[in-house]
Amino acid sequence: MALSTPTVIILVGPTAVGKTAAALRLARHFKTRIISADSRQCYRELNIGVAKPSPAELAAVHHYFIDSHSIESEVNAAGFEQLALGWAEDIFRTSPVAVMVGGTGLYIRAFTDGLDSIPPVDQSIRSRIRLDYEEQGLAWLQEEIKKYDPEYYAAGEIQNPQRVMRALEVRLSTGQSILSFRTREPRGRPFDIKTIGLQLPKEQLHQRIHDRVDAMMQAGLLEEVKSLLPWRHHNALQTVGYKELFDHLDGKTTLAEAVNAIKTNTRQYAKRQLTWFRRDLSVRWIDASAPPESFL
């Protein structure tokens, strides 16, 4: 599989499909390094719940954007774009191929097409929005974005509370709609991009999800969540695997109910990931267990 020009091979797909293992196989094949495109694995304080590569896997192949930031840092897609472009340039000095892997669609789109930088938001505004959302729910959030950013309300994903909270905090912090920061035309890149989608039969993927959640609990996910209580309102923790256990610690659910909720919500998250990536017609879909030779 010789490549004549610098190329980034991007592996995408739903959670638990086997992206980490496939990326390691591919990186070893090309004797190269991996850029993670996961918006949670970059935080040093998050481990079990974000399914980070194991210490052995990280030692076997160098990974960028793993354990690179504190949870107190501001991390977003526009910032990732600039970091990842620099990392790709570093890799191309010694290898014609870079491997990128992840399930955060917006981060991957930022890398391939570009995003305009969004100024840092006021952390007090972010915290207040999240607290009010917890108390008053999605209907309140939708009314707030309708009042302050009617353009986003008309065109944005108003059923997704994380997206609406992000849009609201940007509007209240910068005075501008988050839509004004989106790049209209894809930016050219000085390298080729090949995007591979990994897939499995639905029943097999669901079983992998259930097994992974059970393994996370056995590995100490509940204890990890307890250690993160001081940061529970951070955006990175408003996600599957953490919010359900915060509810359990608040006495809202039993532990068994929380674990079942993690499995259900992870299946739904995987479905949303597939919907996002399948909108991109440039993605070539293959079986997750395929050998590296079939990736190009």
What angle is formed at CA 82 by the lines to CA 76 and CA 84, rounded to 5 degrees? 90
Regarding whether 109 and 249 lie in a shared domain, the answer is no
Regarding whether 80 and 30 lie in a shared domain, the answer is yes
pLDDT of residue 183: 60
Say how far apart CA 53 and CA 200 lie, in whole Å: 20
| Domain contains 1 | no
> The domain that contains 81 carries what CATH number?
3.40.50.300
Regarding whether 206 and 196 lie in a shared domain, the answer is no
| Domain contains 2 | no
3-class DSSP assignment, residue 64: strand
Looking at residue 258, its amino acid is: A
> The domain that contains 250 carries what CATH number?
1.10.287.890
**What's the predicted TM-score (pTM) here?**
0.84
pLDDT of residue 184: 61
pLDDT of residue 244: 96
Total domains, the chain: 3
Regarding whether 76 and 194 lie in a shared domain, the answer is yes
Buried b / exposed e over 151-163, threshold 16 CB at 10 Å, is ebbeebebeebeb
Q: Which residues of the chain have pLDDT under 50?
A: none
Regarding whether 128 and 79 lie in a shared domain, the answer is no
Distance of CA 217 to the CA centre of its chain: 21
- The token pair that represents 289 in the structure block: 């267990």
Regarding whether 195 and 61 lie in a shared domain, the answer is yes
- Domain limits at 19? 7-117+184-200+274-295
Phi and psi dihedrals of 285, rounded to 5? Answer: -95, 130
pLDDT of residue 276: 86
> The domain that contains 166 carries what CATH number?
1.10.20.140
Regarding whether 264 and 281 lie in a shared domain, the answer is no
Regarding whether 221 and 177 lie in a shared domain, the answer is no
| Domain contains 54 | yes
